Structure 1
């Protein structure tokens, strides 16, 4: 739409240019030619951009086609593999398969019985452990009581040691007094006799 407006404008300018002086007409023609040149330059640029976009789209489509070709090859090999499997399955004796399935079912049932028996054993062990846990809890409470008793006895023993130390100091001071009394008496008697 914009292209047609430019062309219409050029035609209008061209028709007005007939009534102008030659210099004005040349300037008008140069301006119109500049607009036409700009128009074609933008048209060429847009065409290049569209061409590059188409080229990148073509490259993307080409890689997709290559990917699809690889997928088709994979499907062909998979189809051949399925055909060989189908042939093998057709050759298998269904009676043998049924016997195998029956044997597997019997083995599964025997395994379930063993599991149930083991569950009963585990439950009895858990019950025994529950009794041991209550015994352990009782022992722990007894140990705590013993620890508190030992702590109080330790405090009493420390107090007794301290009391023994004070008694020993008192006894030492009494012995010193007992030893000093005869010495003092002897000295007093000596001084009294001397006088």
Structure 2
């Protein structure tokens, strides 16, 4: 069975008309977007219906809300915020060698594989609304940004001008860079 025939069978199962199926498959080819994204962009299915459909079809958990979720610190420390935002991925839970990860793109597997490599764990997808994921990413990384602000305050307290004077006095730049507040700031980044 060709990929188009598989897609067509899947879309028929979702209750789409022949015209909608043709539109979805051609748009998917033209834009490079995944099937789930095209269904939402073309207003053929709501995000909630797409999540429910793919959750059932792929056997994935569906969570409509991420209120009260605490992102594991390993995720925040190992995954750049830009990667999380670009791919709409955020860890919900980590137990042993399995990290549950919220996604709104169930068919976009490459970023999940990349994330597994970054985390050093297996990842298990959980379908969530895009807006919920974006909100949790912002909340999780805001705490990391607060830590950067604290490190900047520490540097200010040690007088940045004093550090500049030390450099001018021919002190090795690397030794200045190894001072505790600067190390703390770089580690936060």
TM-score by length of 1: 0.23
Structure with more strand by fraction: 2
Which entry has the higher C-alpha Rg, 1 or 2? 1
Name the structure with the higher helix share: 1
Q: Which has the higher contact order (CA 8 A, sep 6+)?
A: 2
